[in-house]
Structure 1
């Protein structure tokens, strides 16, 4: 059964992670690369039977750099737009090529070829994005995607095969420690709170150069209660309620937190992801 027949039977599209400039770049109109993504890359991927997505498509899931790197390796295919020679794009392309996984290179006609990868094919498109050139670019890119996928096991996706060295491999299973997992979860909750907050966070409140986030230990109840007692008067942030200050205890273990909006919340153990904000100058 062909890939296309399997796809029609399962109803699932293959994944294509798109590596490209996301922010505006010098020499391009605002929103240029978003238009390239929406009008060239996504239609070409769909035409070739792939679902295209890039990092900002999944920002609501608190994607962090680790997630991006995992998706670069895990995606069935990667389309990489070299236009403007963005350093982040080059870095992410290097990771994909280290594993010698299928990748399709794309660049506009105003970007010079890059010497180190000049031996690899790329698909060109007119940076003007004129309507009479966009459709031609979609056709050319979709054809390259199909060809790359069909020849994924034999084609040269990087210099790895040309140099005759082994491609990088992932370990069979990577275990993340409980402490690391907890920190990542709390950072994700913090990012969500910041993104959803209606009030801007001033530099005095969240200065990255002088602020340390200390996660309240979840290991043992006694330790947590002791940390709460020692944190009375300290600023905290909660993934659902936002910023506040611990003003006291209700009984022996219930933290009383006064929020920015004046509300008072009683937070019971295990304190629901409460994060203690410690000024580095206090340490």
Structure 2
């Protein structure tokens, strides 16, 4: 048993990364890969502790991606969360981590504004254009913040990352009972999928048909597709596009995007969808050139 202020008997601590991984708000998948590498370099430069930085969706074993994400959100010694572009999946995962009330560092780019619910927490800012000189400074600041935040979590018996702002709470850990965690997580993720589908339908342009709605309808649907694709790739494919099955993906998109309402016939919807999937599977730089909005 380690004393307070000392690292538990671990040769390496886990720093979970929560961030977008696919194109959103004009930022390509390559952009997020560059951001991920910047974060890994910053985490590796922490002097007082040895952290291994990995996406919370990553794991060596197979199994439910939803369970893996939540388990890693709980188990990670510290989380670095990039809320740039306000990706809905990232915000959801941040909410889970804050509910656990464990050490978390929030970052964002200089284009994204603050969210109301998390605005009380300090955010470190980096340039969206990833300009070298400013990124060097950002990595130094981030490394110091990670070290200080994790050290604070060790030094305080009543450490609270977030919930102390609203009162006194007893935070429960994840249950270890056989079967109960799987069932709870599956139910939770199922409810989240339903809620996200409702939000998409509520915020989409009503009663538009892409065959007659022109540029505006096309942009609405393109935006909906990017949101759906990000969630589908993260939650169903573990971030690995090579696992994508077009038939399964189309069925999921029809259910969660209400895809048919945008087209005069299911065959038109399928042709449009297959085109978008082919663009999604292209290398990112080629994809940006080929995308038709």
TM-score by length of 2: 0.56
More strand by share: 1
Any idea what SS the aligned residue of 1:124 has?
Answer: strand
Match of 2:131 in 1: 130
Over the aligned positions, Cα root-mean-square deviation in angstroms equals 3.7
Q: In the alignment, which residue of structure 2 is the partner of 1:169?
A: 172
1:108-123 to 2 correspondences below 5 Å: 108-123=109-124
Rate the CA distance shift 1:109–1:59 in 2: closer, same or farther, 3 A: farther
CA separation in 1, counterparts of 2:129 and 2:71? Answer: 33
How many pairs align?
Answer: 194
What 5-or-longer segments of structure 2 have no aligned partner? 184-236, 255-293
**What corresponds to 2:26 in structure 1?**
27
CA distance in 2, matches of 1:85, 1:196: 26
The equivalent of 2:161 in structure 1 is 157
Stretch moving more, 45-54 or 139-148: 45-54
Structure 1 pair 11/29, CA: closer, same or farther in 2 (3 Å)?
A: same
Q: Give the direction of change, closer, same or farther, for the CA distance of 1:174–1:201 in structure 2 (3 Å limit).
A: same
Question: Secondary structure of 2:107's partner?
Answer: strand
**Deviation sequence 1:156-201 (CA, Å, 0-9, x none):** 421x111113143125532117x97xxxxxxxxxx89x9988xx85
Q: Which has the higher helix share?
A: 2
After TM superposition, where is structure 1 displaced by more than 4 Å over at least 4 residues in a row?
A: 1-7, 194-197, 204-210
Unaligned segments of structure 1, at least 5 residues = 181-190, 211-283
Q: Which residue of 2 aligns with 1:14?
A: 13
Aligned position for 1:245? none
Q: Larger Rg: 1 or 2?
A: 1
Q: Supply the distance in 1 between the matched residues of 2:138 and 2:73 (Cα, whole angstroms).
A: 23
User: Distance in 2 between the 1:57 and 1:171 partners?
Assistant: 19
Q: Work out the CA distance in 2 between the residues paired with 1:206 and 1:29.
A: 22
* TM-aligned CA deviation for residue 30 of structure 1: 4.0
The residue number in structure 2 matching 1:95 is 96
